[in-house]
């Protein structure tokens, strides 16, 4: 047998398999929820189970996308999207978990941001991870907003938590050099978001992300700017 195993391919196919298994697991979890009583459904172990499984799922999706990106096999399929419908679906995706955790997630779409042009799969992957992250820091409220600014569509995830620490607001995620990936998954997640945003272009404009604190809820604000 040959020794030159292409490890990144092995890793990618294993991750793909793990992701599909986890999908099955999440589906079963959804079914279990319907067959158990309120006292189990609302209990901490159950929501932890679901939250962590969803987080791992999101991480694996992110990992696979980054792998495809490095293999130059990832491209954005930009299509018209009805923004409100799209955000509604993102909200629905997290609804039951949020109910279990006692966190609300509201969707606001401004009238001039009804229409957008992006790859729904890629953007959904980004928002899922950002929301999963925000859930950890939120007190009780999250918002998913869309607005138009200077011809850009800005999708934002806001929470009422303590906000991003100062050093994170300063990181430039457009290159890998200055990002420290050893401190946990957050930086990698934001790098991923930046790359996915950057895959959306129109003319000479290219999508990007922006972090700030404040917003309607006074916590962290993640913004995805799409051309």
Partner 1 sequence: MDENERYHLYRKLRFLITDDFENFRKSMRQMLSSFGAEKIDMAANGNETIAKCTKDHYDVLICDFNLGSGKTGQQVLEALRHHKLLRHTSLFVLVTAETSREIVMGAREYHPDTYIIKPITQAVLQKRMDALMAQRHALYPINHALDQEDLPEAISQAEQLLQTKTRYRNWVMQILGDLYLQRGTPDLARGIYEQVLEGRELAWARMGMGRAALARNALDEAISHFETLIESNPDYIEAYDALADALQRKGNSRRAQEVVEKALEISPLAILRQKQLASIAASNQDMETAADAWRSTVKLSDNSIHDSPENYLGLGRTLSELSDGNTSSEGKQLADEALKALHNVGRRFKDDESAKTRKQLVAARVYAGQGRMNESRKALDSISDQLDPETLSPEETLDYARALYTQQEDGAAQRVLNQLAERCQDDPKIMKAIEELMDEPVSFHKKNQARALNKEGIKAFESGELGQAADSFSQALELVPQHPALNLNLVQVLLKNAEKEGKGSDPSMLRRCERCLDQLSHLPPQHKQYKRYQFLKKKIADLTSGSNT
Q: Which parts of this chain interact with partner 1 (CB under 8 A)?
A: 16, 19-20, 23-24, 26-27, 30-31, 61, 64, 68, 73, 75, 77-80, 82, 85, 88-89, 92-93, 95-96, 114-115, 117, 121, 202-203
Q: Which is nearer to partner 1, 37 or 203 (CB)?
A: 203
Shortest distance, position 158 Cβ to partner 1, whole Å: 21
Between vectors from CA 125 to CA 219 and to CA 173, what angle results, nearest 5°? Answer: 60
User: Among 160, 88, 99, 162, which residue's Cα sits nearest to residue 127?
Assistant: 88
Pick the closer one to partner 1 by CB: 109 or 145.
109
Sheet of strand 141-149, all strands in order from the earlier edge strand to the far edge: 104-109, 141-149, 152-159, 219-226, 208-214
For partner 1, which is the closer residue by CB, 169 or 202? 202
CB of 30 to partner 1, least distance (A): 5
Q: Quick one: angle between helices 44-70 and 7-35, nearest 10?
A: 150
CB of 43 to partner 1, least distance (A): 19
- Smallest distance from partner 1 to CB 136, Å: 21
Closest distance of CB 140 from partner 1, Å: 20
Quick one: 183 or 201, whose CB is closer to partner 1? Answer: 201
Cβ-based nearer residue to partner 1, 96 or 147: 96
Give the Cα separation of 209 and 223 in Å (integer). 6
- Is the distance from CB of 174 to CB of 206 less than 8 angstroms? no
Separation CA 159–CA 143 (nearest Å): 6
* Residue 201 dihedral angles phi and psi, to the nearest 5°: -130, 155
């Amino acid at each position: 047998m040959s020794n030159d195993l292409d490890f990144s391919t092995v890793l990618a196919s294993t991750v793909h398999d793990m992701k599909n298994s986890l999908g099955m697991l999440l589906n079963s979890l959804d079914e279990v929820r319907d067959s158990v009583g309120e006292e189990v459904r609302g209990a901490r172990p159950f929501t932890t189970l679901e939250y962590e499984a969803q987080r791992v799922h999101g991480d694996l999706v992110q990992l696979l996308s980054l792998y495809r990106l490095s293999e130059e096999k990832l491209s954005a399929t930009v299509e018209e999207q009805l923004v409100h419908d799209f955000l509604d679906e993102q909200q629905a995706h997290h609804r039951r978990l949020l109910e279990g955790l006692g966190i609300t997630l509201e969707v606001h779409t401004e009238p001039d941001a009804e229409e957008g042009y992006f790859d729904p799969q890629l953007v959904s992957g980004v928002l899922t991870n950002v929301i999963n992250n925000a859930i950890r820091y939120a007190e009780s409220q999250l918002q998913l907003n869309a607005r138009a600014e200077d011809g850009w569509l800005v999708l934002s995830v806001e929470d009422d938590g303590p906000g991003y620490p100062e050093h994170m607001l300063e990181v430039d995620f457009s290159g890998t050099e200055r990002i420290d990936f050893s401190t946990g998954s957050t930086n990698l997640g934001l790098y991923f978001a930046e790359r996915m945003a950057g895959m959306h272009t129109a003319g000479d404009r290219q999508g990007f992300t922006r972090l700030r604190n404040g917003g309607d809820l006074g916590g962290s604000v993640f913004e995805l700017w799409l051309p």
